[in-house]
Amino acid sequence: MANTRALVKRRKAVRNIKKITRTMELIATARFKKAFDRATEAAAYTRKITELAADLSASATNLSHPLLQKRAEVKKTLFLVIGSNRGLCGGYNASILREANQRLRLIQAENAALHLELSGKRPINFFRYQGVKAERTYTQFEDKPRFDEVEVIANHYLEAFIGEKVDRVEVAYMKFLNAARQIPVVETLLPLSPSATAETRPEQKPRVEYEFLPSAGDILQELLPVSFKVRLFQCFLDAAVSEQIARRVTMKQATENADDMIKSLSREYNRARQAQITKEIAEVIGGAAALE
Residues that bind other proteins (CB under 8 A): 38, 41-42, 44-46, 48-49, 51-52, 55-56, 146-147, 151, 208-214, 216, 218-219, 222-223, 226, 229-230, 233
Identify which of 256, 51, 74 has the alpha carbon closest to the alpha carbon of residue 165: 74
Whether residue 134 contacts residue 62, with contact meaning beta carbons closer than 8 Å, is answered with: no
Angle ∠(232,38,35) on CA atoms, nearest 5: 95
- CB of 86 vs other proteins, minimal distance in Å: 23
d(CA 56, CA 219): 8
Whether residue 174 contacts residue 95, with contact meaning beta carbons closer than 8 Å, is answered with: yes
Residue 111: DSSP 8-state: T
Beta bridge partners of 136: 117
Give the amino acid at 229.
Answer: K
- CB of 170 vs other proteins, minimal distance in Å: 21
Measured from the CB atom, is 112 or 160 closer to other proteins? 160
- CB of 206 vs other proteins, minimal distance in Å: 10
- CB of 119 vs other proteins, minimal distance in Å: 18
**CA-derived radius of gyration, the chain:** 28
Measured from the CB atom, is 153 or 258 closer to other proteins? 153
- CB of 84 vs other proteins, minimal distance in Å: 21
Measured from the CB atom, is 59 or 188 closer to other proteins? 59
Measured from the CB atom, is 18 or 231 closer to other proteins? 231
Residue 68: DSSP 8-state: T
- CB of 213 vs other proteins, minimal distance in Å: 4
- CB of 167 vs other proteins, minimal distance in Å: 22
Dihedral of the alpha carbons of 127, 133, 136, 140, in degrees to the nearest 10: 20
Identify which of 220, 164, 222, 209 has the alpha carbon closest to the alpha carbon of residue 191: 164
Measured from the CB atom, is 44 or 291 closer to other proteins? 44
Question: Which residues, in sequence order, are CB contacts of 139 under 8 Å at separation 6+?
Answer: 85, 119, 120, 121, 124
Tell me, rounded to whole angstroms, the distance of Cα 221 from its chain centroid.
31
Angle ∠(201,204,209) on CA atoms, nearest 5: 90
Measured from the CB atom, is 45 or 95 closer to other proteins? 45
- CB of 151 vs other proteins, minimal distance in Å: 7
d(CA 82, CA 88): 16
Measured from the CB atom, is 151 or 268 closer to other proteins? 151
As a residue count, the chain comes to 292
Measured from the CB atom, is 37 or 260 closer to other proteins? 37
